[in-house]
Amino acid sequence: MTTTNETKTWIITGASSGLGLALAEAALAAGEHVIGTARRADRFDGLRARYGDRFLAVEHDVRDTGGAAAVVQRALEVFGRVDVLVNNAGAGQVGTAEEITDAALRAMLEQHLLGPAAYVRAVLPHLRERGSGAIVQMSSQGGRMSFPAVGSYSAGKFALEGWSEALAGEVAPFGIRVLIVEPSRFRTAFNAADVLHTARQSSVYDEVVGAVRANMAEADGVQEGDPARAARVIRDVLDAPDAPLRLPLGAEAVRNLTRVYRAALDDVGKWASVSGSADFPNMPPAVRAF
């Protein structure tokens, strides 16, 4: 298939549901091209039926980092270009540090850091050659704050955000933009019983995290965030010349992250003199390359 210079092509991982599906629908409705990945390609039957050859379904598990390059190559073969990579695929997980196994923790890192990193490495040569493009990293408000029973999930998202902040500085000189999206709760399957991973529970922690476990499950179907509206916001921000590096998405994310940032700044100020006392006396300020 040949494309015009004006037709954008998106790669969206985890595009069969939730925010990934909403972004795919928005791009396709705008006449753009989408390569969507999911663990089961048959979940894309509806998109294929509605949008035909403007949508390409690829079966891929983001934890298979060796397969990311093939997905990018397929996109270039079919559509001739990639304009936006959206690293969206992932899943939630509930469990205390003592309840989460090595395998469960590793799965969070594979889905939320290693998988996205593989896609970024695969697409960057193309974006650099073209001198333009965008990488959207779907994080979470849990990528800047955490609370009991979601530590393993936040570990993956915190890692993604730190990695992506460095990435943004590395690729900006090549005309490539990085946008880290930090949603609060949206009306997706994230909290559904068959989607949200839950560790084997220890009764020792019932009083500590029982309310968190219940709240995570009870949120399914009543989340305040609208995925379709979120997709429109993300598209608009990508087109903004003054787009931020991080985009809290949803009013709850704005409230929570404002509170977290203010508390962190208060702590830095309160303990500044103690922190500074660890330096050698009378040393000039450090000079760094950043």
Catalytic residues: 139, 153, 157
Contact between 37 and 81 (Cβ < 8 Å) = no
Are 10 and 37 contacting, i.e. CB atoms less than 8 angstroms apart? Answer: no
250: which DSSP letter?
Answer: S
Q: 114 is written with which tokens?
A: 């290693």
Q: For helices 227-239 and 18-29, what crossing angle results, to 10°?
A: 60
- Closest by CA to 185, choosing from 154, 216, 156, 224, is 224
**DSSP reduced 3-state for 198:** strand
Closest C-alpha among 57, 64, 63 to residue 16: 57
- Rounded CA gap, 144 and 159, in Å? 10
User: In angstroms, what CA-CA distances link 99 with 42, 114, 152, 184?
Assistant: 34, 23, 10, 25
Q: Report phi then psi at 238, rounded to 5.
A: -60, -30
Burial 156-166 (b: 16+ CB within 10 A, else e): bbbbbbeebee
In angstroms, the CA 68 to CA 202 distance is 37
Separation CA 207–CA 201 (nearest Å): 12
